Amino acid sequence: IKMLGQLAPLVMVLWARYAFQVGVTALTVWPRRGNALFTTGKLKLQMLRGLSLLSMSALAFLSLRVMPVGEFTAIIMLTPLLITFLAAVVLGEHVSVLRWVLLVAGLVCAVVVIRPQSETAGGHLDWAMLLPLLLVLAGAAFHTLSSRLARSEDPNTTHVYTGLVR
């Protein structure tokens, strides 16, 4: 991502990535499914899922342009913690007491690794850290929407709409 970001504009890299996805999906799935491939009962959720993945990609590219890979990775590792929280709160899935304890422990450990107030980490919460934090939110939204759509939508349809939105 760091190399591609230096070679081409972000919009071009994202467009090429998703145009390839839609093209390959259309060539492989459309002949079997026909126009039913585009039939969805949850268009708004499909679009929101696609926008959240587009946001994730753009935020990852932008983050890696302005911050070290190690800090970026430590911050985005918060995504599974937020997904677990949203699975319980939004999707109504059961999360055991042990998982809640592990979720809190993971959050504490992430703060220790990121060290936003440490002198070695710059001594302050840098604005660049907001980009991967937004990526964490977009990632959690993407995965929560994926889980919700999987209950009623064909996965191929969801895949196509995700690529079309981007």
- As a whole number of angstroms, the distance between CA 51 and CA 164 comes to 10
Q: Residue 9: what pLDDT? A: 81
Q: Token pair for residue 26?
A: 């259309």
Amino acid at residue number 86: L
Indicate whether 44 pLDDT > 90: yes
Provide the whole-model pTM: 0.76
The whole-number pLDDT of residue 69 equals 84
Return the pLDDT at 112: 76
Q: Please report how the helices 43-66 and 155-165 are oriented relative to each other, as an axis angle in degrees rounded to 10.
A: 50
Note the pLDDT of residue 125: 58
- DSSP label at 158? H
Contact assessment for residue 143 and residue 30, using Cβ atoms and an 8 Å cutoff = no
Q: Is the pLDDT of residue 1 over 70?
A: no
pLDDT of 156 > 70? The answer is yes
Q: pLDDT for 99-147, tens place per residue?
A: 899 888 888 877 777 766 544 445 455 777 889 999 999 999 999 999 9
